[in-house]
Amino acid sequence: MSPDKLIYMANQIATFFESKPHAEGVAGTAAHINDFWEPRMRRQLLAVIEEGRPGLRPLVLDAAQEIRRPADA
């Protein structure tokens, strides 16, 4: 999947959770990505975050620590 599409999707999730208290939003964003994104997508998103690619909402960046890193394929 393209990095731009991953950023768009992650930001949509974060936008939903931004109405919650910050800690709940972080946990909710990470939980949604962990529960519904396949390992390949999570791996790609974490690579995008590590590269420092611009465009991700702060809540996605804060949730990155709680996103489960899949084993390398």
Residues 6+ apart with CB under 8 A from 37: 45
Contact 12, 37 (CB under 8 A): no
Residues 6 or more apart whose CB falls under 8 angstroms from that of 20 comprise: 28
**For residue 73, what pLDDT is reported?**
59
Q: Tell me, yes or no, whether 46 lies in a domain.
A: yes
How long is the chain? 73
Is 47 inside any structural domain?
yes
71 within a domain of the structure (yes/no):
no
Domain with 13 in it: 3-66
| Predicted structure pTM score | 0.93
Q: How many domains, the chain? A: 1
Per-residue 3-state assignment (H helix, E strand, C coil) for 34-59? HHHCCHHHHHHHHHHHHHCCCCCCHH
Tens digit of pLDDT per residue, the chain (73 long)? 999 999 999 999 999 999 999 999 999 999 999 999 999 999 999 999 999 999 999 999 999 999 999 987 5
- pLDDT tens readout for residues 20-36: 999 999 999 999 999 99
